[in-house]
Homo-oligomer: A and B are copies of this chain.
Amino acid sequence: MARRRQTVTIKHVAADAGVSLQTVSRVINNEPNVRPAMAERVREAITRLGYVPSLAAQRMGGSRSYLILALNDRDRTISDWRARQGTDWVDQMLLGGMLTCARHGYRLLLELVDTHSDRIERELAATIAALQPDGVILTPPHSDNPLIAELLDRHDIAFARIGAQGGGAGIALSMADEAGARRATEHLLALGHRRIGFVAGPEDYTTSAQRADGWRGAMREAGASCDGLLAVGNFDFPSGEAAAHALLGAAVPPSAILASSDQMALGVLAAARERGLSVPDDLSVVSFDDTPIARFAHPPLTAMEQPIAAVTARAVELIIAQLGGRARPAAPVVIAGELKVRASTAAPRV
């Protein structure tokens, strides 16, 4: 493989426009101290020659890398991909992230990192050393990992924490977990439900606790008890099924269940079927996330949407703004999803 050199470099442009390298560089980077006429001449040369700066060289010169990393949990991402259940978290991140990056001349690079490993710090440090990204987007459960935050901070890399509640460095962006769970619970309360079960997510996701709080808050305000109505899963189907069986097997079973993921809600649906309960007549079910599978379920699930594309887009914008010198938002940025009401919820049987 031949040594691949840049076909047209800043030198060619400078020669063609009859100016110095530096002036071309200034024009490329929209820096001041270039006379309009001169800038115009340079821009013409750039267009004529079809010049595009080399990212590697820009980076070497000591400026930006124009790279933003999206860090996702390796195991969960890969198992979602393998399962082919329509989980589109990554796709929605790319939708929001790539397009926003492109608009600003940045690239988004997806990276998978081990969560539970003590290697995580070394692994991430290596990635940073190799790629030297200008920004990093953290997704749960990394968003609340203080080791990662500290590392990024030390390297002076702008970063956003999706699904984080603030506190600590970085830009916190929340998808209104507490409010969302509250909204979902209120929807069920408004239908007339009083005994509303909640299937929480695993504890290493801080959103899990937030959602539980929302459910508890709405219940409390409605004067409904939460006793014996909380179960814990790990976001997957079997754990939802098991949790539902535990809740439905109680002396006074719930008439509705709110699950912290679509997969767990499908598990709830399965458990209901096994028990001969009809949804929504005997049991109402609400899920979180609203991945495609929620619409294809039977019945289609009422679900709290997770606005991943929107929140990722915002994360990119805030990172780039910070790189441009603007201050990061003091308070967490909240982007709420909508409750998509479908056929899995109805008034309880009298």
Contact = CB atoms under 8 A, between A and B. Distances in A.
A50 interface: yes
A35 interface: no
Copies in the complex: 2
A350 interface: no
A3 B62 contact: yes
Contacts of A189: none
A20 interface: no
B125 A99 contact: no
Interface in A114-159: 122, 125-126, 129-132, 134, 155-158
A210 interface: no
A321 B268 CA distance: 48
A129 B54 contact: yes
Interface in A287-314: 291-293, 295-297, 309
Contacts of A110: 94, 98, 110
A98 B81 CA distance: 12
A103 to B, nearest CB: 13
Interface stretch (A83-91, A168-176, A331-339): A83-91
Interface string A1-43: 1111111100000000000000000000000000000000000
A179 interface: no
A205 B341 CA distance: 38
Given A59-B56, A60-B56, A65-B56, A95 B82 contact: yes
A37 to B, nearest CB: 26
Interface in A178-231: none
Contacts of A85: 292
19 contacts: A1-B325, A3-B62, A4-B62, A4-B132, A6-B129, A52-B129, A54-B59, A54-B132, A55-B131, A55-B132, A60-B60, A81-B94, A81-B309, A85-B292, A86-B292, A86-B296, A107-B109, A292-B292, A296-B296
